[in-house]
Each structure stands twice: as structure tokens, then as C-alpha cells.
A and B are shown apart, each in its own frame.
Chain A
Amino acid sequence: MIALRGVSLVYPNGVRALDDINLEIAKGEFVFLVGHSGTGKSSLLRLLYREARSTAGEIVVDGIRVDRLRRNRIAALRRHLGVVFQDFKLLVDKTVWENVAFAMQVTGAHTRDIMRQAPRVLDLVGLSHKSRMYPTELSGGEQQRTAIARALVNNPKILLCDEPTGNLDPANTTEITALLQRINLKGTTVVVATHNQAVVDRMRRRVVRLDDGRITTDEERGYYYLGLGQTQVLSG
């Protein structure tokens, strides 16, 4: 579903964010990207949805050569992906329903499809009863659930989450993690960049560790800290 081969990213200011990344993620997998702040987790996700462009290497996302993608094809790529951020990125002047529907409206979806799909995802994230409320009237966890509903409303095959629990308390973190797991069980490939140890250790899923822009370990059922599970060094 996702493949990176020899991928590097050097920002215009000369900072080398990623260095010779090789990573394969299969369809339906749940993968944590862990590492300290500034090790390249977010940069790696940004490459996948083409917010940044790699300086070397090959990136394939759902059959699309992202590293070679022309600017006018980026929109098409992003319809295959859902992206969730630490700061939710909700529109505060729109209700929960409108925030979710917005993602469909701006991709030219038919009203009939919006009326069918929006309630479905709001139900999935457990916010049907709050669909008329504004983001400022919701808790952090509810805001993140709204953001996840928006990311899912176009039926993406891949969900990319950049520190989805970074702004949440433990109770809301548990809630969001459970939701991501549910989404994964329905067949969506989920990639989560995080430095929340509790989440990673509780879920025991594949853990890819980044250090200084390089993948240092890749564990099938890993923990946040190295050495607690099976270790397999891919590169570096």
C-alpha cells in the first residue's frame, strides 16, 4: 500500500530531515512511527501526502508514484488519503456536520452522497448527537473525533495521523486510540506518528523508530522503547 525506497528529504535551508528511508507498509496494516521530536516523523508523513517533495528516492502510495507526481495530480492523490493532525485543523465557524460535509463538498461530491456518508462517519466516531455543535463547544477528544470523521468521509484507503493524541488527556487519548483501532479493523491502513509511549505500548502494533532522519528499528509488535520486543534493524 505504501512503499518508500531510498527516500531522502533535504529542506531548502539545508536541513536533512530524512536520509535513505526504506519502508514497506502493507494494506490494512497499523504502523506507529516513533522517535524524538525533530527526527523526521512528520516529514515522512508530509512526503506521503505530498505536502513536501522528496529530494531522492521512490515513493509509492496506493499505486501512485508520489515522488514524480505533477502538481495538478496532488488533489487526486489526497482523495486516497485521510490526514489527521495534533491541532485538529477544524473550521471554527462551521458545525461538526459542516466540517465533515465540507471535505466532501469541496471535492465536488453529490449532495445525495454527502447526506448518506456524513451520518455514517459521525456515527462511527460517536458524534451523531453533537453534529450541530461548533468545535469550540466540544472537548479536545471530540474535536479530534470530528477531524477523524472528516478524514474518513471520502472513504480513504489510508489514514495518516500526525500526533493525533498530542493535545489530549489520557482518557481522550484512550478513546482516540480505540477509534483508530476500530477504523483499522474495517480495513483502512493506519499510520500514526507519535511520541506517546502509553499508546504505543498498549497497542503492541508495528513500530518503526526514526532517529536523526533514519529508520533505526522496525518491530512487528513493538514497544515505544527499543529492547522490549523483537528488534530488526533495517538501515543505519
Chain B
Amino acid sequence: MDWGKLKFFLGEVTRNFSRNTGMQMTAIGTVAITIVLLGMFLFVRAALADVGASLLAKIEISAYLSPDATPAQIHAIGRFLAQDPRVESAQFIPKRQGLAELRERTKGTIDTALLTENPLPDKYRIKVRATEQVPSVAAEVRRLTGVANVVYGQQVVQRLLQLGAVLRRIGIVVIAIFFAVAGIIIANTIRLTVFARRREIAIMQLVGATNTYIRLPFICEGLLDGCIGAALAVGLLAVARATLWPRLLEALPWAQLTATPLDARVLAAELLAVGAAIGIVASWIAVGRHLRT
């Protein structure tokens, strides 16, 4: 190991980094904000996905049969459902059982003893494997002979799917904008350093330093900006998770949020990697432009 070489290289990086303190702080701050947003987005998305999953898991299709459906028709419907790969399970609920279940569910609120006859039709209770397929399975079942009506949480399913998609799109756009801003600020910071050191760079090129060698201290400067920004962001997110998240869980018990929707250590590592990547890419572009001219 040539310590002299390492010392020279580290000296170059330190000198670069300490040259424009103000710009360096701006770059680090922007990276931190970007990474905080990204972290929050990933966390909230995971939490929402949990809520969504628990709600969607409960969604089932009730296919009510017409009162004059023949046993053969009921059987055919059962066979159709059993063969459909999208269907996880299909259970035939005769109307007597339906009433018993209704009595059980409404116990203490509605007096079903007043009923003189069973008003419920027979039905199939269908669970579908993927939530997105609920509407299409429901539509097909409705067309079968002997089926009078099909009911499922149409609006809940569609709203949840829509909400998830919209949130994801907004999140991606906002984060993309912040990424671009962070990248541009880092690139400009590096460009200032490059400008301040243009004589040295010219001499390096003259004496035969490779572009990779010239580029390296600047890439390290960008990497430092990215990593310090990301580390700050991870720290902020960790504090927020330790203090705000438990309160949110307490405040919204109905939302059925999971206490830890994401592995904190994995998320921290991913965010640090993202910060480092912004720094490297931005500085690579910034120096590359200078070296080409």
C-alpha cells in the first residue's frame, strides 16, 4: 500500500470538498430532503399496502341464486367456479345457513324472530385470488343461468385500487422532481469546484493524467454530498419513526396499520445507496462535460 498516494488523493478530495462550503451545504440539504421524501413515500406506501391487503383479503363475491334455480343449475355454477383458476374458493350457502349467519351477525340489533319466512336466497360465497380480478369474475358469474344477482364491495375495491395508483403516481412525480433538483444542485456544486481547479485540471491533462484519475476526486466529492445528505435523512426518518409513528398507530386504530411495515435497516441501506448514486451520477456528468471540452 502506497500511503503517499492515498494521502495525496485524500488531500485532493478534502480540498475539493472544503472549497465551496455554502454550495456543499445546499447540495447536502437537498439530498437530505429528497431522501426524506423518498423514505416517507416508501414507508407510507408499504403501510397503505398493508391496510389495502387486509381490507382486500376480506372482499368476497356473493352470487345470489334465483329462487327457481334448479339443482342442476346450482351444480353447474359450482362446477364453473371450481374450474376457474382465478377463484380461490367457492362455498355454497343454502338459504337456511344464510339466515343463521345473518342472525349471528346482527345479534342484539335486529330481531330476526319477527321473520315469518326466510327471505334470503341461496348463494355462493366466492373468494378470488387477486383483487384486480374480482370485477371480471363477478361479471362472468352474473351471466350464468340461475344467478339472480352478484354483490361485492365494488366501490371499496375500485376506490382502493384507484387510490393506490394515484398516490403512487403523485409520489413518483414529486420524488422524480426532487431527484432532478438534487442532481442539478450537486452537479453545479461540482462544476464550481471544477471551475476553481481548471488550471490544475489542464495541467493534469497536459502531463498525461487519465480522465478517470482526474474525475475521481470530483466523484468522491459528489459521493460525499450524496452520502452525508442521505445519512442526515435516514437519521431524521429514524427519529420520526420512533416518535411519530407510534402516536399515529394509536390515533388511527381502525386503519389497521402494521407497526413495522418495512425493515428499517434494509430501508436505511437502500436510502444511503440512493443518496450515493445521486452524488456519483451528478458529479460524473458535471466533470464529464468539462473533460470533453
Contacts and interface: CB of A to CB of B under 8 A. Distances in A.
A114 B213 CA distance: 17
Interface stretch (A1-9, A10-18, A102-110, A213-221): A102-110
Given A89-B203, A103-B203, 10 more contacts: A75-B208, A79-B208, A91-B199, A102-B203, A103-B207, A108-B213, A110-B4, A111-B3, A111-B5, A151-B207
A78 B199 contact: no
7 A-B pairs closest in CB distance? A111-B4, A78-B208, A79-B208, A106-B209, A103-B207, A75-B210, A106-B204
Contacts of B251: none
Interface string A135-169: 00000000000000011001000000000000000
Contact of B209 (A89, A107, A114, A150): A107
Contacts of A89: 199, 202-203, 206
A83 to B, nearest CB: 6
7 contacts: A75-B205, A75-B209, A89-B199, A89-B206, A102-B203, A107-B208, A108-B213
Contact of B211 (A75, A107, A110): A75
Contacts of A111: 2-5
Given A89-B202, A91-B200, A110 B5 contact: yes
Nearest to A114: B4
B8 interface: yes
Interface in B191-224: 199-200, 202-211, 213-214
Chain B at the A interface: SS class: helix
A91 B213 contact: no
Contacts of A79: 207-208
Contact of B207 (A78, A110, A112): A78
A151 B211 CA distance: 19
Contacts of B2: 110-112
Nearest to B8: A105
A76 interface: yes
A74 B5 CA distance: 23
Nearest to B4: A111
B198 to A, nearest CB: 11
Given A91-B200, A110-B5, A83 B211 contact: no
Interface residues of B, number: 19
A106 B207 contact: yes
B168 to A, nearest CB: 42
A84 to B, nearest CB: 10
B4 A83 contact: no
A114 B207 CA distance: 14
A79 B206 CA distance: 9
B207 A107 contact: yes
A107 B206 CA distance: 11
A49 B206 contact: yes
Contacts of A81: 208
Contacts of B206: 49, 78, 83, 89
B81 to A, nearest CB: 66
Nearest to A105: B8
Contact of B213 (A102, A106, A110, A150): A106
Given A75-B208, A83-B206, A106 B214 contact: yes
Contacts of B213: 106-108
Contact of A154 (B8, B205, B207): B207
A116 B208 CA distance: 20
Nearest to B197: A91
A235 to B, nearest CB: 30
Contacts of B210: 72, 75
Interface in A84-116: 89, 91, 102-103, 105-108, 110-112, 114
A49 B209 CA distance: 13
Contacts of B4: 110-111, 114
Contact of B205 (A72, A78, A102, A151): A78
Contacts of A72: 210-211
Interface in B1-23: 2-5, 8
Interface in B229-246: none
A76 B5 contact: no
B7 to A, nearest CB: 9
B13 to A, nearest CB: 14
Contacts of B199: 89, 91
Contacts of A112: 2
A74 B211 CA distance: 10
B203 A108 contact: no
A10 B199 CA distance: 26
